[in-house]
Amino acid sequence: MSQLNLKSIKNQAEKEIKKTENLTELEGIFKKYLGKTGVITQVLRSLEKLSKEKKAKIGKEANELKKFLKLLFEQKTQAFKEKVKKETEESEWLDVTLPGKKPVFGHLHPLTLARRRMEEIFQSMGFSIVEGPEMETEWYNFDALNIPKNHPARDIWDTFYLKTELSRSENEGEDEATASSPTELSRSENEGEDEATASSPTELPKEAKVKMKTKFSSPGGLLLRTHTSPMQVRYMEKNQPPLRIIVPGNVFRHEATDYRHEFQLFQVEGLMVDREISVPSFKAIIGEFFRRFFKKEVEFRLKPDFFPFTEPSFDISMTCLVCAGKGCSACKNTGWMEVAGAGMVHPNVFKNSGLNPKEWRGWAFGFGLDRLAMMKYKINDIRLLRSGDLRFLHQF
């Protein structure tokens, strides 16, 4: 090993160390020169073969070179570490004085708010909350409510009838597997309807295909319930009076829409049955509901009306709160908004529920929750409620 060799090792190592761009590269060079099998280590090992004088001279120089390179590595390592630290500090710098980003909170829909409030109020008056099917049989929607086939009262509500191929295929003795055939959502039999009801909303498809696997055993065909009143009979069939229930839920009508009419709406049915029930007790409960729902006295009136399942029947109207009774588009300039139909339960409804009409008396109501929400939040167009327009919804 000559002096010249050590000098060229030194020059080469210095050059390579200088060229490194990161710690990983530097570690590789360190191993190459100072590792267990590195160049300098091998030089030191080969000394044994040299004479005593050469061993002392070259050994000293090789050790000095080792020291020198170690120092060089340490300095370069330190430089790299500082560079990384500086870069990290710069990229992760955080201005703690900046204001934070506000999280966006969701909130309840006005119909949900109105429904919850209504449920709370009636629950506190001893009413239970029950729910029923949105897909209903003709029997419960009409017949059981004293509305026989061909009765003109069926024309009150324009109905979405469901023609099921399921029921047909079952009648023909087909097995369950084929029973999931499409159900056609089509217009009612009353093709000869008058001009007023024929103005169906354009956004509704004439025919829609619905997959259905449910098996119905009740007499009659299927439909989307037009009101929540079918739950009167469904509930009384299974529960013995005295009873107090409310039934919140969606109902569907094939209707043209306007400021206070929707083709899908939310109703809340009420039913109270006992031995001594009268119209004044009904009026008292409705008055209490209004007071608590609107948090003030509101003027309301019962007007005679006709429903085949109640006798006497009436509708409940209240002062329009959108215009404070002055008249607006929501109330059709009358100053009044009809919010419910109601009446004393008809004896035939008790009979169809398996109860003795001589033993029991009851009253029932069906509130339009959409209209109550309109009144509570001063919404002048019912169609806004299901529009999904965030500019509207953000106000609640």
Query: Which residues are CB-neighbours of 385 under 8 A, at least 6 positions away?
Result: 109, 110, 111, 262, 370, 373, 374, 379
Question: H or E stretch including 53?
Answer: helix 52-91
Q: Rank residues 76 and 154 by Cβ distance to ligand FA5 and give the closer one.
A: 154
CB of 128 to ligand FA5, least distance (A): 17
CB of 349 to ligand FA5, least distance (A): 9
Structure tokens at 356: 């003795």
CB of 93 to ligand FA5, least distance (A): 58
Q: Rank residues 136 and 370 by Cβ distance to ligand FA5 and give the closer one.
A: 370
CB of 275 to ligand FA5, least distance (A): 20
Q: Rank residues 80 and 259 by Cβ distance to ligand FA5 and give the closer one.
A: 259
Going from the C-alpha of 305 to that of each of 156, 314, 320, the distances in angstroms are 12, 4, 20
Q: Whole-angstrom Cα distance, residue 248 to residue 117? A: 12
- Listed residue (267, 272, 185) closest to 227, CA to CA: 267
Q: What is the DSSP string of 229-264?
A: THHHHHHHHHSPSSEEEEEEEEEE-----BTTB-SE
- Listed residue (273, 269, 341, 352) closest to 312, CA to CA: 341
CB of 124 to ligand FA5, least distance (A): 21
Q: Whole-angstrom Cα distance, residue 29 to residue 72? A: 11
Q: Rank residues 229 and 319 by Cβ distance to ligand FA5 and give the closer one.
A: 229
Q: Rank residues 267 and 319 by Cβ distance to ligand FA5 and give the closer one.
A: 267
CB of 94 to ligand FA5, least distance (A): 54
Q: Rank residues 162 and 373 by Cβ distance to ligand FA5 and give the closer one.
A: 373
Q: Whole-angstrom Cα distance, residue 318 to residue 130? A: 26
Q: Rank residues 40 and 349 by Cβ distance to ligand FA5 and give the closer one.
A: 349
Q: Whole-angstrom Cα distance, residue 6 to residue 3? A: 5
Residue in the shown chain whose Cβ atom is closest to ligand FA5? 368
CB of 106 to ligand FA5, least distance (A): 26
- Cβ neighbour number for residue 352 with a 10 Å cutoff: 20
- Cβ neighbour number for residue 319 with a 10 Å cutoff: 18
* Residue ranges that bind ligand FA5, judged by CB under 6 A: 227, 229, 253, 255, 260-262, 265, 267, 269, 307, 310, 313, 315, 338-343, 364-366, 368, 370-371, 382
Q: Whole-angstrom Cα distance, residue 167 to residue 178? A: 11
Longest dimension (CA), the chain: 133
CB of 240 to ligand FA5, least distance (A): 20
Half-sphere exposure (Cβ direction) of 44: Cα atoms closer than 13 Å: 17
Q: Rank residues 29 and 339 by Cβ distance to ligand FA5 and give the closer one.
A: 339
In contact, 228 and 249? CB cutoff 8 Å: yes
Tell me phi and psi for residue 94, to 5 degrees.
Answer: -130, 125
CB of 395 to ligand FA5, least distance (A): 21
Burial of residue 80, with CB atoms counted within 10 A of its CB: 0-12 exposed, 13-18 middle, 19 or more buried: middle
CB of 244 to ligand FA5, least distance (A): 14
